[in-house]
Structure 1
Amino acid sequence: MSSPSAKSKIEIYLEEKRKNVLRLDPKEAFEQVGKKDGAIMIDTRPCSFREKEGSIPGAIIIERNVLEWRLDPTSPDNIPEAKQANFKPIIVCNEGYASSLAASSLIEIGIKTATDLKGGFIAWKNQGYPVDP
């Protein structure tokens, strides 16, 4: 049996994947999106979470299961924003765990500007940044 302080395999995996991601706190994300220089919030939370907790104004909703296809500029199923020269997707999940894995995956397929929101939507909302009901 493992000790209470032993890390799980997923915690170790997450730490490894986060090494390649320059993560943003809510203030940094808010400032980058406000600059209009290609930074776009991408909300991957399930619909039920958005309905219950609200959403980030201006964020593009993309379900996690199709994220790579929508953000790969070479994919026939991409969103138009993915083709912008300065495209910088800021991936948002609920607490900042799944978004780190998603951002790492995007970096691995060549979207080197991908990042994620530390603490996810919960941190964004708790720090007082705009939320649509």
Structure 2
Amino acid sequence: MSTVDELLERARRELDRLDAREAAALQKAGGLLVDIRYAALRERDGTIPGALIVERNELEWRLDPTGDHRAPEATHHGLPVVVVCNEGYASSLAAVSLRHLGLPRATDLIGGFQAWRAAGLPVVPVVPAAESQ
């Protein structure tokens, strides 16, 4: 048995984690940022322009390039993928899961969305569905 902290430590040893500016540069070079935060956080804080929104419970199905339920952006196993959660914890575990799925360039954003925003990188506000009607 392990604690969640031990599990997280092991997961992070498999990753070359990126800071916000490195993630932005990777996205600009054609890498895929994948926001796994749940809707309430996206509505509260906004989203990263161009990031693919995939909630955590669908991640592996949407990012498997060979799967029937893949997102159009999941084009090949060599695609650089940066998983983004709120603060950079769940994203580490999710990125390792993608690596085990055959995406060797999957990693995550140190500090998550909050680090992206703190770095002054672009954020798009989200209008909740109830307000847009």
- TM-score (normalised: structure 1): 0.89
Aligned 8 A contact 2:88 2:108 in 1: yes
Pairwise CA distance, 1:83:
1.9
Amino acid at match of 2:72: P
| Identity over aligned pairs, percent | 49
1:80 CA drift (Å): 1.8
Match of 1:81 in 2: 73
Which consecutive unaligned segments of at least 5 residues does structure 2 have? 126-133
Q: Tell me the alpha carbon deviations over residues 86-107 of structure 1, each in whole angstroms, 9 at most, x when there is no partner.
A: 4211100000000000000110
Query: Does residue 30 of the first structure (1) align with residue 24 of the second (2)?
Result: yes
**Helix, strand or coil for the counterpart of 1:80?**
coil
What is the total number of aligned residue pairs between the two structures? 124
2:33 pairs with 1:52: no
Residue 112 of structure 1 is aligned with which of 104, 113, 116? Answer: 104
5+ residue gaps in structure 1? 1-7
What is the CA distance between 1:74 and its match in structure 2?
1.4
The ranges of structure 1 where at least 4 consecutive aligned residues each deviate by more than 3 angstroms after the TM superposition are: none
Deviation at 1:84, TM superposition (A): 3.7
* CA deviations over 1:102-127 (Å, ceiling 9, x no partner): 00011011111111100000000011
Picking from 5, 18, 21, the partner of 1:11 is 5
The root-mean-square deviation of aligned C-alpha atoms, in Å, is 1.3
- The answer to which of 82-91 and 105-114 deviates more is 82-91
1:69 aligns with 2:83: no
